[in-house]
Amino acid sequence: MQPLTIAPRERLIVALDLPSVAAAEAMIARLGDSVIFYKIGYQLAYAGGLTLVRQLADAGKKVFVDLKLHDIGNTVARGVESVASLGATFLTVHAYPQTMKAAVEGRAGSGLKILAVTVLTSYDDGDLHAAGYRLGVSDLVEARAQQAQLLGVDGLVCSPEEAASLRKIVGHQMNLVTPGVRPAGTAAGDQKRIMTPARAIAAGADYLVVGRPVLEAADPNAAAEAIIAEIAQAAI
Ligand code: C5P
């Protein structure tokens, strides 16, 4: 299968990691037509931010709901149905077989795509061992990516460093979505394994999730446009 052709502007997902709906609305207004895709995670979702999903979808934007679901199958499937009814485009779940199977069932017939989080990037082999796992990070990421593909999951969240090897495993059938992206010259913050937008695209990422380099820029709109220009250049 051929690589997806996605417009460069749509490949930037701005993480609305902000404390209130008002702060998020102010940032969305500043970013205007420059940004098409937004991510809503724990901080904003639990501060009333899920109301923005429908609002943004109605305004022609796309929304990635990053709630990393994991529960018994019935609860996951019904929760996924509710997120789908809000008009979201992407939703994350943890990459456990039961959870992924239920999520795929819950999104049936909707426009929602399920992204699996294989192993959280804050985990190393020692953390997995302490949590009772037999496999190390790279083996578990690979096993879960294969399971996700078999179960019909639409994409994976991965670090830019994992993108190239996961692309080899899952081909071009799945979307690879990578956080940990930093334009040259911006602060890494707490991200340890970072890549520039151009390198992440070259490594095989379909979508880049970027928070602080846009949110904390003196001119967020200009910061977003610079990332989109870099994506367009790398995708040629
Ligand atoms: O501000 P920054 O660009 O580091 O934000 C990255 C976003 O991607 C945050 O919303 C963070 O929660 C998310 N994320 C991440 N690493 C992962 C999964 C999600 O940084 N492995």
pLDDT band at 4 (very low <50, low <70, confident <90, very high): low
Q: How far apart are CA 29 and CA 43, in angstroms?
A: 19
Q: Which two tokens stand for residue 154?
A: 């639409």
Q: Which two tokens stand for residue 3?
A: 């690589």
Please list every protein residue whose CB sits less than 6 Å from any atom of ligand 1.
Answer: 15, 17, 41, 121, 157, 179-180, 189, 191, 209-212
Q: What is the pLDDT of residues 98-124, one digit of tens each?
A: 999 999 999 999 999 999 999 988 889
DSSP 3: P
Domains observed in the chain: 8-234 (3.20.20.70)
Q: What is the pLDDT of residues 117-171, one digit of tens each?
A: 999 888 899 999 999 999 999 999 999 999 999 999 999 999 999 999 999 999 9
pLDDT reading at 86 higher than 70: yes
Whose alpha carbon is nearest atom 10 of ligand 1? 15
The mean per-residue pLDDT over the stretch 206-212 comes to 97
Mean pLDDT of the chain: 95
Q: How many whole angstroms from 61 Cα to the centroid of ligand 1?
A: 20
197, 234 Cβ separation under 8 angstroms: yes
Q: How far apart are CA 180 and CA 132, in angstroms?
A: 27
What is the Cβ-side half-sphere exposure of residue 135, based on CA atoms within 13 angstroms? Answer: 10
Q: How far apart are CA 89 and CA 2, in angstroms?
A: 22
Whose alpha carbon is nearest atom 2 of ligand 1? 211
| Higher-scoring residue by pLDDT: 186, 29 | 29
